[in-house]
A and B are shown apart, each in its own frame.
Chain A
């Protein structure tokens, strides 16, 4: 009954388009809770799918699924509180789209068929478009337009790449089902030239969705215009879903012995993303865009780590998990700041320490986590990636990697200090006071991240190792 976990929320989402406001707020929390329970059951029992041709449970899928589930549950609790404060028109559309969005992302994590994967990823774009357009302003219209058009065109490239994989099967006379697992098993017989072309197109396609530079232009707009709970979902889990598509294709490349080729491309795109983020973070004037660029940076780190392979791939998965936990908490916190100050500009904020102390704790801890302070998981992940880069002889790129991380850190720290402790006009009043229900979801997210740095449960460790061993990762 694997399929139930995305079919059920899909139906619930459709129904909730027609429900009154109050009921919707309860429904979204209930759906999140039920989804989390189902995911944990799935993790423990690992049942067979009804349509094994199209869906199956893979270690990397399970990891993403659990992250999605946990995040959605906590974000749904925040959303219910946020909707009471923020004035959002047509709330039922917002809640319905959130739940359908959850369903489509769940489908991505479970799909094994290469075309079904594409269908699911394109569906996430469509389900999340109404979320970005929630405020009905000109700016949000522009952001949604860019998001839908750029991502759809980008993902169309991935479809072409997927078609080229079938071509590489024809040329190589391989007759297996079109699933990632079957293709990885018989990857040696696939035609290498077409497979390479397919990988490039798929990387460009899903890379657009993942926010890799230079295809990232939609990301800062969409993340800053969407309401904060939606930004948290977009940044925390949607990017992971797109990464999953790249990861699985990379698995085929690795099995075919073409991992040098795919690794180099991943490293180049990863470095470009980190550099692009570094340039834009330094002079950023809006804090939600700042967080968005930080997402681009982290996606760059993850692509870089995957490209390096070995220990780096393990580090990349660590970064992936911790980025989701920490960045979603940061976006939720930015929602509090936006409600409190009523502006997205950094210069209009300041002195968070005395005006919103509870929010400050979440904000500052999130900043420490995302920029790789030692106790947090991103630090460990980045360390692994750097060590792996030096071990495999990628000295120059490793140095560029380290320098750009430093630049990002400096820029980010500068802006965060302004928001947290900077001067603010006298008589600035907080418009909507912080509430406990809008802070503790972030605390839980950050705490989970902290715990995972100190102690990784055996089953989680084993699943990560299973996932990365297919691309030659691990110690």
Chain B
């Protein structure tokens, strides 16, 4: 059991590098979907007692994080259908290097933290930190609005991983509320993206810098 978690988590770490080095949005969306699926399944492996409730909850989480959210972004991309490049502010080689540094430092930091509840897996904590920070990185280092929304989703995935690994205290109903909020948030962003695509013929955020103090 323990090793299988680490295997899929190492795949997640690889997917982070993949997303940093890729210039195409469809690839990025697939990486986000993959992370969404893995992140929702991890609690099933780490929790000792598996109940029907937790299985159902994991499946619901998986269908929202792994299918519905990426699919809605994919639909937006199809409808606006203009630029599929991520328009990097930080180049791909530099991004890849940053990704490597990120993974190493995440592993280093998690070794130094003493957290009682997650001794079961060696990679959980580094993976959670890496996913969270990589989401922030995508938000900062990409100019394409769709890539920024994907960065936000990756960040949320990271927080979910942190939350589920740290504690079993929260009730499923509360976590479901958070999930609904995230879903509604992504939907609102998807609508905004579509409007941006129609109004500016482009989702480059350079156009979104007109409002400022003169």
Contact between chains at B148 and A170 (CB < 8 Å): no
The answer to whether A156 and B170 have CB atoms under 8 Å apart is: no
Does B169 reach chain A (CB closer than 8 Å)? yes
Q: CA of A220 to CA of B180 in the docked complex: distance in angstroms?
A: 29
Cβ–Cβ contact A166 & B169, under 8 A = yes
Given contacts A145-B196, A280-B213, A283-B213, contact A166 B152 (CB under 8 A): no
A138 at interface by CB-CB < 8 Å? yes
Q: Please, which residues of chain A bring their CB within 8 A of the CB of B169?
A: 166, 169, 178
Report whether A142 and B139 are in contact in the complex, using a CB–CB cutoff of 8 Å. Answer: no
CB-defined interface of B28-65 with A at 8 Å, one 1/0 digit per residue?
Answer: 00000000000000000000000000000000000000
| B-side contacts of A145, CB under 8 Å | 145, 192, 196, 208
Contact call B181/A170, Cβ cutoff below 8 A: no
A404 adjacent to chain B (CB < 8 Å): no
Minimal beta-carbon separation of A164 from chain B (angstroms):
8
Number of interface residues of A (CB under 8 A): 43
Q: Is A432 an interface residue (CB 8 A)?
A: no
Q: Which of chain B's residues have a CB closer than 8 A to the CB of A126?
A: 181, 184-185, 188
Q: Is A116 an interface residue (CB 8 A)?
A: yes
B159 to A221, Cβ gap below 8 A? Answer: no
- Shortest Cβ distance from B78 into chain A, in angstroms? 20
- Taking CB as reference atom, which chain A residue is nearest B186? A152
Contact indicator A116/B115 (Cβ below 8 Å): no
Count A-B pairs with CB separation below 8 Å. 111
Distance in angstroms from B200 CB to nearest chain A CB is 7
Q: How many residues of B contact A (CB 8 A)?
A: 42
A203 sits at the interface (CB 8 A): no
The answer on a CB contact under 8 Å between B167 and A170 is yes
Q: Does B8 contact A (CB under 8 A)?
A: no
**Contact, CB under 8 Å: B185 / A163:** no
B196 touches A119 (CB 8 A): no
How does the 8 Å CB contact mask read for A99-138 relative to B, with 1 for contact and 0 for none?
0000000000000010110110011011001000100001
- Cβ of B174 and Cβ of A116 under 8 Å apart? yes
* Cβ B167 vs Cβ A163 within 8 A: yes
A119 and B211 contact, Cβ closer than 8 Å, known pairs A144-B192, A156-B159? no
Report chain A residues within 8 Å CB of B195: 133, 141
A150 CB to nearest chain B CB (Å):
10
Smallest CB–CB gap between B55 and chain A, Å?
A: 22
Q: A166's contact among B114, B148, B170, by CB below 8 Å, is which? A: B170
A30 interface residue (CB < 8 Å to B): no
User: Quick one: closest A residue to B178, CB to CB?
Assistant: A119
Residues of A contacting B189 in the complex (Cβ-Cβ under 8 angstroms)? 148-149, 152
Chain B, residues 188-214, CB within 8 Å of chain A (1/0): the string is 110010011001100000011111011
**Pairwise interchain contact A125-B185, C-beta atoms closer than 8 A:** yes
Q: How many Å from the CB of B133 to the closest CB on chain A?
A: 11
Once bound together, how far apart are the Cα atoms of A159 and B157, in whole Å? 12
Complex alpha-carbon distance, A21 and B200, angstroms: 31
State the CA gap A454–B61 with chains docked (Å): 54
A170 and B213 in contact (CB under 8 A), knowing A141-B195, A148-B192?
no
Q: For chain B residues 146-189, which have a beta carbon within 8 Å of chain A? A: 148-149, 152, 155-156, 159, 162-163, 166-167, 169-170, 174-175, 177-178, 180-181, 184-185, 188-189
Say whether A171 faces chain B, with CB atoms less than 8 Å apart.
yes
Which residues of chain A have C-beta atoms less than 8 A from B211's C-beta?
A: 139, 142-143, 146, 221, 224-225
Closest 5 CB pairs of A and B: A166-B167, A119-B177, A122-B181, A221-B211, A163-B163
Q: List 16 A-B contacts (CB under 8 A).
A: A115-B170, A118-B178, A119-B177, A122-B185, A123-B184, A126-B181, A126-B184, A133-B195, A142-B208, A166-B167, A167-B166, A167-B167, A169-B167, A170-B117, A178-B169, A178-B170
